[in-house]
Amino acid sequence: MEGNDAERVVIAGKRDAANHKRRELLARGTPARRETPLWKEVPLLLLVAFCVAVLVRTFLFQAYGIPSASMERTLTEGDRVIVSKIVYDVRTPQRGEVIVFRGNERWAPEFQQDPDSGPLARLGAAVADLIGIGQPSEKDFIKRVIGRPGDTVMCCDAAGRVTVNGHALDESEYLYEDSPLGLGTVGDCRAREFGPVRVPEGQLFVLGDHRSRSQDSRCQGFVPMDDVIGRALAVAWPVDRWHVLAVPATFADVPSPAPGAGGSPPPPGGSGGGAAIVAAAVFHAPRHRFSA
């Protein structure tokens, strides 16, 4: 009995000693974790955010500002769209998609960039462009794909419609209609009538939705697929104009091009003959490869 009492006393003593030590530690408090000063943390976070933005802009997505009225009604001047830069790594552009591309030396700018206002302005513009919020280049264009390689495109049929491989497009969903037949002079992009022309391999035929305000394949020539930057997916700004840039239903009914099918310009003096001849000459001129 006495041995058990002694053992209980020893255990209680050890427990009391442990509790005493614990109380001392709590009283002294544990040293606080050393935090990074705010003046160091904020620049670090900004640097990380900048690097992420550059990577996203370079390889995945880019915000593109609409600089002109050439894509009304679909896009208005001042809109900002999200452009996917990876979608065409796995497939080629399809009819009806809205694409951004780099125009070569034949493509006349549709707007004038702001004049240079000094080194600070140039630095700010370079940083804004690097993260994808800058002003678009004069040589960057946004248009709708109408014809793919092998397609025969022309305007107009008896009802004044653009046709692709003989299928008349119902463009009422997106077309800004203010271009009467025959408007413009030879080679003028405002003219609605053109073709028929056949799209060569590796090229695209593109048009703006606002035909009388657009510099496009009617007078500028085909777009090499190598010059395509990406597909415009949606309007992101302003918020009240947010919408997805889906492919209009009319393009689903366009048939595949017939083997060996092609078009040739009508003779001079015919409907749209002069413009078609100039367009055909431009279309088949040599192209250069754009290096991103």
Please name every residue paired with 232 in a beta bridge, in sequence order, or none if there are none.
83
Cα–Cα distance between 214 and 221 in angstroms, integer? 13
From the candidates 68, 143, 179, 212, give the one annotated as an active-site residue.
143
Range list of β-strands (E), the chain? 61-65, 80-84, 98-102, 140-147, 152-155, 162-164, 167-168, 194-198, 203-207, 223-224, 228-237, 243-244
Among this protein's residues, is 68 annotated catalytic? no
Cα–Cα distance between 225 and 204 in angstroms, integer? 7
User: What's the residue count for the chain?
Assistant: 292
Backbone angles phi, psi at 223, to 5 degrees: -110, 120
Among this protein's residues, is 70 annotated catalytic? yes
Q: Which of 53, 59, 96 is nearest to 230 (CA)?
A: 59
Contact 167, 190 (CB under 8 A): no
* Backbone region of residue 79 per phi and psi (left: phi > 0; alpha: psi in -120 to 50; beta: other values): beta
From the candidates 68, 70, 212, 217, give the one annotated as an active-site residue.
70
If you search the block for the tokens 């880019």, which residue do you land on? 62
Cβ atoms within 10 Å of 242's Cβ, excluding its own:
11
Q: Which two tokens stand for residue 182?
A: 């025959």
Handedness of CA 55, 58, 60, 65 (dihedral sign): positive
Cα angle 16-20-24, degrees, rounded to a multiple of 5: 170
Contact 88, 105 (CB under 8 A): no
Contacts of 192 (CB under 8 A, 6+ apart): 155, 156, 160, 179, 180, 181, 182, 183, 211
Positions marked catalytic: 70, 143
